[in-house]
Amino acid sequence: MKALDSEESLFRARVTAGFLCYAYLAGSFMGCFRLLQDGIQPASIATFLTIQLFLVGIYFLKYRRDVEQAGELIILAGILVITIVLLTDRGLHSRVLVWIPLMPVMANFFQSRISGLITLFAFICILCFVYYLHLSDWISAPIADEVLLHRLVATTISSMFATAVSHFYEESRRRANAEFARLERTRREWISIVSHELRTPLTAMRGAISMLNHGLFDDQPDQASKIINVAYSNTERLVRLVNDVLDIEKMETGKFILSVDKEDLRKIVEQAIATQATSAEKKSITIRLQAPKTLRCYIDEDRILQVLQNLLSNAIKFAPSASTIELDLRRESQYRIYLSVTDQGPGIPEDFAAKLFQRFEQAESGDNRKQEGSGLGLYICKTIVEKHGGEIGFENLSRGGCRFHIRLPQKPA
C-alpha cells in the first residue's frame, strides 16, 4: 500500500479520483442506457456489473488510500468494458475504439502492476480476436473487410504510439524525481556535515578564548600557549573547510581555473611534508621521500600542493602511531610523472572503494568511527589532478596499508 506521503502521491491520488468518478458516472449512464435500449441481455448486465469495479476503486482510494490498486481496477474495468462493447456493438466498427489508446497511457500514469505494455498487448490480442470474429461472421458490420483491417491497424498503431510516448514521459519523470531526491539527500548531507564541521572547531575556539578572557591562565603562560594553539588549530580547520566549500562551488560552476607553470615537483613535495610534520610528530610517524634531486613539470604549484597536503593528512590520520609513510616520486616515462603516498594503515574497505572519490564520503578508521573532515578532500584532489590531464587512484597492499598514486603529464594537457 502506497501512502499519500508526498505532493506527487497526492496529485496522483487526485487524478485517480477524477478518473474513477468520471468513469463510474459515465459508465453507469451508458450501462443504464443499454439496459433500457437492449433490455435485460447478458451483455448489458455484464457491462453494468463491470462498471461497478470503478466503485470498488473509489473504496480502495478513499478508505485504503491505495492509488496503485485503484489504478489497477480502472485499467481492468476499462479493458472489460471495452471488450464487452466491442463484442456486442458491431466490433471494429464501434466508436469505443477511440478509448483504446488512452488505456495504456492511464496504465503508465498509475504505475501499477498492469503496465502500459501489458495493457497494449492485451488490447492487440482483443482487437485481433474481434477481427477474427468479423471474418468468421460472428460479428456483422456494414463495412468491408479491408476497412475493418485498416481500422485494426490504425487503432493498433495509435495505441503503440500513445504507449511509447507515455512510457518515455513517465521514465523521464521518474529519472527527474530520482535525481531530485538525490540532490535533496546531498543537500541534507551538506548541511549536516558543514554544520558539524563548523560547530566543532567553533566550540573549541569559544572555550579557549573564554578561558583566556576570564584570566584563568594569566599566571600560567605555558598553559595559555597551549590554549592559544588549540584556538589556532581550530581556526586553520575552519579555513580549510571554507576553502573546500569555495573550491566545490568553483568546480560546480566551471570557474575552477589552473595557473600552470614549470615547477620543481620535488620542492613542492618537500613543502607538503613540512606542513604536515607537526601532525606526524604527534603520532611519532616517520615520513620518507624517495625522489630525484629535481623533477620539473608544468603544474599549478598551489593546487598540487593542496593535493599532496590532503593525501599526506589522510595518511597520517589513518596510519598507526610509530609507523612510516613513504612518498615515491619519479619519472615514469618520457611524458609522465609518477607520485605515490603509502601508509601502513587499515586500507580502504572494499565496499567503500567505489565511492571513495565522491563528495561527502569518508572511510572509517580502525575503531569503526569516521574521522573528522568534510568528506570533500579526495573529490577535490581528483578534480585537480584530472584538470592537469592526470589520473589518481589507490590500491590496498597485501602486507597492509594503502597506496595512493598520481600520474601527471610532463607537459600541460
**Residue 76's closest CA among 20, 31, 15, 130?**
20
Task: Find the CATH number of the domain harbouring 205.
Answer: 1.10.287.130
Residue type, 163: T
Within this chain, do residues 117 and 34 fall inside the same structural domain, yes or no?
Answer: yes
- The CATH number that applies at residue 347 is 3.30.565.10
My answer on whether 33 and 155 are in the same domain is yes
The region that residue 48 occupies, defined by phi over 0 for left and psi between -120 and 50 for alpha, beta otherwise, is alpha
Least confident of 12-21, 160-169, 261-270, 271-280: 12-21
The pLDDT of residue 366 is above 70: no
Q: For residue 175, tell me if it sits in a domain.
A: yes
Does residue 188 form part of some domain?
no
- Compute the distance between CA of residue 51 and CA of residue 33 in angstroms, rounded to an integer: 13
Share of the chain above pLDDT 90, in %: 19
**CA torsion, ordered 277, 279, 284, 290, to nearest 10 deg:** -40
Domain stop point among 253, 272, 296: 253
- pLDDT score, position 4: 45
Identify the band that residue 412 occupies on the pLDDT scale cut at 50, 70 and 90: low
pLDDT digits (tens, 9 = 90+) for 208-258: 788 777 777 777 777 778 778 777 777 877 887 787 777 877 877 777 888
Q: Percentage of the chain surpassing pLDDT 70?
A: 81
The pLDDT of 305-309, averaged and rounded, is 90
pLDDT at 269: 93
Is residue 187 assigned to a domain? Answer: no
Other Cβ atoms within 10 Å of 219 Cβ, number: 8
| Per-residue pLDDT at 312 exceeds 50 | yes
In whole angstroms, give the CA distance from residue 319 to residue 402: 9
Range with lowest mean pLDDT among 239-243, 288-292, 293-297, 338-342: 239-243
How many C-beta atoms lie closer than 10 Å to residue 412's C-beta? Answer: 15
Is residue 29 in a domain?
yes
C-alpha distances in Å from residue 258, one per residue of 272, 300, 340, 379, 387? 19, 6, 22, 16, 8
12, three cell numbers: 496522483
Tell me: do 164 and 300 sit in the same domain: no
Question: What number is the average pLDDT over the span 286-312?
Answer: 91
What's the number of domains the chain is made of?
Answer: 3
- Does pLDDT of 195 surpass 50? yes
Secondary structure, 3-state, 221-257: HHHHHHHHHHHHHHHHHHHHHHHHHHHHHHHHHCCCC
- In-domain check, residue 297: yes
Would you say 186 and 129 are in contact if contact means Cβ atoms under 8 Å apart?
no
* Mean pLDDT of the residues in the chain: 80
pLDDT bracket for residue 1 (50, 70, 90): very low
Residue with cell 480502472: 74
Q: Which residue has the higher pLDDT, 19 or 163?
A: 163
Looking at the structure, tell me whether residues 160 and 17 fall in a common domain: yes
pLDDT of residue 405: 95
Compute the average pLDDT of residues 276-302: 90
Q: Which residue has the higher pLDDT, 234 or 406?
A: 406
Asked, for residue 30, whether it belongs to a domain, the answer is yes
C-alpha span between 224 and 343 (Å, rounded): 35
Q: 139, 148 in Cβ contact below 8 A?
A: no
> Is residue 29 located within the same domain as residue 145?
yes
pLDDT at 38 over 70: no
Domain membership of residue 370 (yes or no) is yes
Look up residue 14 and give its three cell numbers. Answer: 487526485
Last residue of a domain, one of 182, 217, 236: 182
In terms of Cβ atoms closer than 10 Å to its own Cβ (0-12, 13-18, 19+), residue 228 is middle
Give the model's pLDDT for residue 72. 78
- Domain membership flag for residue 1: no
What sign results for the dihedral spanned by CA atoms 128, 134, 138, 139?
Answer: positive
Q: Which residue matches cell numbers 572509517?
A: 364
Residue with the bigger pLDDT between 387 and 334: it is: 387
DSSP structure class, residue 328: E
pLDDT for 3 equals 44
Tell whether 56 and 150 lie within a shared domain.
yes
Q: Give the Cα separation of 186 and 205 in Å (integer).
A: 28
Identify the residue with better confidence: 152 or 113: 152
At 385-402, the pLDDT tens digits run 999 999 999 999 888 889
Residues 172 and 221 placed together within one structural domain of the fold = no
Residues 74 and 93 grouped into a single domain: yes
Cell of 154: 490504425
| Higher-scoring residue by pLDDT: 327, 107 | 327
Whether 11 and 138 share a structural domain: yes
Measured CA angle at 260 (ends 256, 262), to 5 deg: 160
Residues 234 and 124 in one domain: no
Co-location of 280 and 339 in the same domain: yes
Mean pLDDT for the stretch of residues 335-349: 90
Which residues neighbour 2 within 8 Å (Cβ) at sequence distance 6 or greater? 9, 65, 66, 67, 68
Choose one of 220, 236, 253: the last residue of a domain.
Answer: 253
Q: How far apart are CA 39 and CA 45, in angstroms?
A: 9
For 135, the domain range is 7-182
pLDDT for 291 equals 92
Confidence (pLDDT) at 6: 60
pLDDT at position 187: 76
The total of other beta-carbon atoms located within 10 Å of residue 191's CB is: 10
Considering the domain architecture, whether residues 53 and 125 belong to the same structural domain is answered as yes
Q: Work out the number of other CB atoms within 10 angstroms of the CB of residue 256.
A: 16
